[in-house]
């Protein structure tokens, strides 16, 4: 970041310090279908606040993903209660729009007098009373790390490990172009604080259920490549989800397999959901093809190189529309 951006972020962190000092109860939320950055950021900030003596609830409408249960402290992430929580401050993490928190999570936070929005998505419309948005950050977890360090908040082991999970998963294990020198410095600091990097990487990347391998086999049978070899896609039908008894996070990161194909500029994952919606995940490895711009055309959002859409089905119709828009973006 340039000096002006650093100064602006410091001002926002100072405002957050005032929020923490002036309130005692918080609910921390993240988006539906949470990933490692969402859950990791929640646990990291939640335990830092609890170490200050604050009352903290960590809520996700779609519950804790099975793939994140290894993380110490993740058991604190709960589904929203039926009644609003008695809290003063609501904090949304890694959530580009307020609606992406889910209706039951919004109900749980409805008594909040003040909203804090911490995110790194370029499509975030700044829906909080305090908006800490750094689109240059590769992960919300990195913003949370900088925030905790800036405020000199407690740094318990749960916070340390959760930040690593958040940042590692959202940078493709420190591989994506969004990874910065500050990201590597963050990793070094966490290791100095006692992070067992070998164990935590094994827990993140080498501990998948067998059904995930079965899912890969099913997806490969649907794989399609455009005639010019620049656009790859595969599809997951709801019938396959039911047959394999899949969990929402079983497909996390699989799109990178087809993104890695030589010559491919954009990879797309079309997923048929039970409610008839189609979930579209897009990954670009060419900065000239901004998939966020394509996502915005269909009401989605995200980042230049990673974006998503929720749209109506059937799958083949959604697929035809999105592939046409992506082909145009690639050709232009």
Question: What is the average pLDDT across 176-201?
Answer: 96
Residue that finishes a domain, picked among 205, 231, 250:
205
Both 28 and 153 in a single domain? yes
What is the distance between the alpha carbons of residues 11 and 5, in angstroms, rounded to a whole number? 10
**Count of domains forming the chain:** 2
- On whether the CB atoms of residues 269 and 251 are closer than 8 A, the answer is yes
Both 219 and 190 in a single domain? no
What is the strand order of the sheet 277-284 is part of? 224-225, 231-236, 266-272, 277-284, 306-312, 301-302
* pLDDT at 295 exceeding the cut of 70: yes
Residue that finishes a domain, picked among 171, 189, 205:
205
pLDDT at position 128, please? 98
What is the distance between the alpha carbons of residues 174 and 165, in angstroms, rounded to a whole number? 11
Both 19 and 138 in a single domain? yes
What is the distance between the alpha carbons of residues 89 and 105, in angstroms, rounded to a whole number? 13
What residue numbers bound the domain in which 172 lies? 3-205
Both 105 and 125 in a single domain? yes
**pTM metric for this prediction:** 0.88
- How many alpha carbons fall within 13 Å on the CB side of residue 23? 23
> Tens digits of per-residue pLDDT, 113-131?
999 999 999 889 999 999 9
pLDDT at position 276, please? 82
- On whether the CB atoms of residues 136 and 146 are closer than 8 A, the answer is no
Both 186 and 286 in a single domain? no
pLDDT band, very low/low/confident/very high, at 319 (cuts 50, 70, 90): very high
pLDDT at position 275, please? 79
* pLDDT at 218 exceeding the cut of 70: yes
């Amino acid at each position: 970041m340039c000096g002006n951006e650093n100064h602006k972020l410091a001002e926002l962190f100072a405002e957050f310090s005032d929020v923490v000092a002036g309130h005692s109860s918080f609910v921390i939320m993240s988006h539906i279908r949470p990933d490692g950055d969402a859950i990791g950021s929640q646990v990291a900030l939640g335990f830092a606040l609890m170490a200050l003596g604050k009352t903290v609830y960590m809520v996700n409408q779609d519950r804790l993903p099975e793939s994140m249960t290894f993380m110490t402290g993740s058991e604190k992430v709960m589904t929203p209660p039926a009644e609003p929580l008695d809290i003063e401050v609501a904090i949304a993490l890694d959530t580009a729009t307020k609606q992406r928190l889910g209706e039951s999570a919004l109900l749980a936070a409805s008594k909040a007098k003040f909203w804090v929005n911490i995110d790194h998505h370029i499509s975030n419309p700044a829906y909080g009373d305090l908006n800490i948005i750094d689109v240059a950050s590769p992960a919300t977890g990195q913003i949370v790390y900088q925030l905790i360090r800036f405020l000199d908040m407690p740094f318990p082991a749960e916070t340390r490990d959760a930040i690593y999970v958040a940042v590692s998963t959202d940078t493709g294990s420190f591989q994506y172009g969004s990874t910065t020198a500050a990201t590597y410095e963050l990793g070094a600091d966490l290791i100095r604080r006692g992070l067992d990097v070998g164990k935590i990487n094994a827990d993140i990347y080498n501990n998948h259920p067998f059904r995930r391998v079965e899912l890969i086999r099913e997806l490969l049978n649907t794989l399609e490549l455009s005639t010019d070899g620049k656009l790859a896609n595969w599809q997951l039908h709801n019938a396959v989800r039911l047959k394999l008894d899949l969990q929402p996070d079983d497909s996390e990161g699989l799109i990178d397999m087809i993104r890695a194909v030589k010559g491919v500029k954009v990879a797309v994952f079309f997923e048929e959901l039970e409610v008839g919606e189609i979930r579209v995940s897009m990954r670009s490895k060419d900065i000239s093809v901004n998939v966020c711009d394509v996502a915005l055309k269909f009401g989605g959002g995200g980042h230049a190189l990673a974006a998503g859409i929720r749209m109506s089905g059937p799958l083949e119709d959604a697929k035809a529309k999105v592939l046409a828009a992506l082909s145009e973006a690639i050709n232009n």
